[in-house]
Structure 1
Amino acid sequence: MKLSQLRILVAVAEHGSFSEAALDLDMSQSAVSHAIAMLETDLGVVLFSRGRHGASPTPVGDRIIGHARQMLKLQDDIVKDANLARSLSGGKVRMAAFRSVSTHILPEVIAQFCDRFPEIDVEIIEHLDDLSIEDDIRKGRADLGFIERPVSEEFETWELMRDEYVALFPPTFKREGSRLDWNELSAYPLIMSHESNKFDPHIYEHCAASGVTLHVAYQIRSDSTIVSMVARGLGATVIPRLAAEPIPPDVKVYSLPVPLFRVIKVAVLSNALQVPAVFAFLDLLKSTTVV
């Protein structure tokens, strides 16, 4: 049984005539008759009663014609979805990101994108680490991702923004002047990200290069929990500014004595065949200035 046979079946039912169906389908009447006869042979039932007044469905033919209409609609839906994915009148953009990007960068970009292309769906998949983001892109679960660590040559990347690491101190912290001193940071009990968190290596390596040893009192997984603990006077922290946002107004914020930044990049698979919707989103990202 072929879809072409089902399309002929429905056409004969709608026109009530083999000859009218043939004209509609731009086929010969004998080809239409042969297709219905072959379908009846394959199914082992009579689908139409033939007579001087045309062709009318038999009871079983009526039921099978109903199923045929459903199958043809599904075929049309498949073609429609494929066409939408190839155009900007539909489709979907899937991106993988860590929390600070999905919270503080993507909402504004997505809002602009949806204004331009309201029929394109956007999906964000949040992860805690770059490796999970890369895996989503590699396995086709995401079209693009936002990462900060170096990646292999299978990915193409470009810089989206630089996010400064800042030192946060409790409201009670007192100091003279506006610049932070390494001694003040190393002498203070610190609330830092859990050892599995991707931020830590950058911070510790940077401080070690300046001869500074950090004294960690707490290791916490959640960025927002770290900021809340600092606000409650339990210690200080060093954290990327975006990860710390929103920073409570009474928390003291300082740049490090030697500034440190993380580079947030957009990543896609090199030579991947992207649908137009993804290209349109990437073009918007490239033209967007993130501060």
Structure 2
Amino acid sequence: MNAVRAADLAPHELRVLVAVDQERGFTAAARALGLTQSAVSHSIRGTEHKVGAVLFERGRKGATPTPAGVAAAAHARRVLRLLDALVTEARAAERGEVTGPLRIAAFRSAALHLLPAALDRLTARHPGIRPEVRVVRELGAGTAGEVAEGRADVGIATLGGTSPVPAGLIGDVLVEEPYALVHPAGHPDPRSLPLVDWHENCGSYTRKWWGRQDWIPRATVLAEDDGAVLAMVGNGHGMAIMPALSLTGAPACVEITDLGADRPIRSVGYVTTPELASSLAVRALIRELRAARA
């Protein structure tokens, strides 16, 4: 097959591709787009011919994206978002006003304690911007994966390791938050308590420190999120080791003890795509996030 050129794929083909990926079926995609099932099937066959790869495995249970389909859908979402940005930026240049949606993916504690102040200032300065915040668990690809796959314009992500920003994205650290020991207030020996934890807590940036602490037992209670952990500790069910954002507004029934100079630190920052980094709405949000950090 001949190599595809960018001009060979039309926006409507990209929208059909994204819809099939999202709905996991041709009939459901057709319903979402207001098209016939045959029109969707024809469009996908044409896109596969142009790309030179099978994008979906067809079956009785629907359409499952192949590895090529996963990659193609991610690029399609990003291209469609750029087309939206083209219109937004052109109107802003003419009218001097930034408008439109701004899709943000954030993990729970960042959505609760880092974003609100920044969004208050952002919407006060730019009333036409409509923030759309989705809370995403910081597991696997996490919030950065939402950006890479074109589902979010900006991700508030935990950054760490030798490559602080995931490959293919750009970003920066906003907050360095220390971990602390959290336990029921007034407990005489909090390190003797069982450990309450949650899946998102111990990433690669804390695992080495965690492994050196012979006083930390295996978690007896594994909660859904950091809010549930804090509630369990406050009710006397154990102790926990938690980052500072998760401890914002902690109730009086818990006590927070510094872990010392060797305590682990979690880096929290923003990530976006190189192509959206220069857009007016993303730049405006980054300015407000940095101001909130300061």
TM bucket, shorter chain:
0.5 to 0.7
**What SS does structure 2 have at the residue aligned with 1:148?**
strand
**What SS does structure 2 have at the residue aligned with 1:103?**
helix
**What SS does structure 1 have at the residue aligned with 2:263?**
coil
Alpha-carbon offset, residue 246 of structure 1: 2.8
Alignment partner, residue 232 of structure 1: 235
Contact 1:231–1:251 (CA<8 Å) still a contact in 2? yes
| Partners of 1:145 and 1:244 in 2: CA distance | 21
Alignment partner, residue 199 of structure 1: 202
Alignment partner, residue 195 of structure 2: 190
| Partners of 1:170 and 1:159 in 2: CA distance | 32
Give 5+ residue unaligned stretches, structure 2.
1-85
Contact 2:180–2:257 (CA<8 Å) still a contact in 1? yes
Contact 1:188–1:215 (CA<8 Å) still a contact in 2? no
**What SS does structure 2 have at the residue aligned with 1:94?**
strand
Alpha-carbon offset, residue 104 of structure 1: 0.5
Q: 1:270 aligns with which of 267, 274, 292?
A: 274
State the percentage of identical aligned residues. Answer: 21
Question: Mean alpha-carbon deviation: is it higher for 156-165 or for 142-151?
Answer: 142-151
Alignment partner, residue 284 of structure 1: 288
Contact 1:190–1:235 (CA<8 Å) still a contact in 2? yes
Alignment partner, residue 146 of structure 1: 156
CA distance 1:84–1:229, change in 2 (3 Å): same
Alignment partner, residue 256 of structure 1: 259
CA distance 1:200–1:212, change in 2 (3 Å): farther
Alpha-carbon offset, residue 204 of structure 1: 4.4
Alpha-carbon offset, residue 253 of structure 1: 0.7
Alpha-carbon offset, residue 247 of structure 1: 1.0
Alignment partner, residue 100 of structure 1: 109
Alignment partner, residue 166 of structure 1: 180
Alignment partner, residue 114 of structure 1: 123
Q: 2:138 aligns with which of 119, 122, 129?
A: 129
Structure 2 residue identity aligned to 1:168: V
| Partners of 1:275 and 1:108 in 2: CA distance | 21
Alpha-carbon offset, residue 159 of structure 1: 1.0
Task: Quote the RMSD (CA, aligned, Å).
Answer: 2.6
| Partners of 2:87 and 2:216 in 1: CA distance | 61
TM-score using structure 2 length = 0.61
**Number of corresponding residues:** 201
Contact 2:105–2:156 (CA<8 Å) still a contact in 1? yes
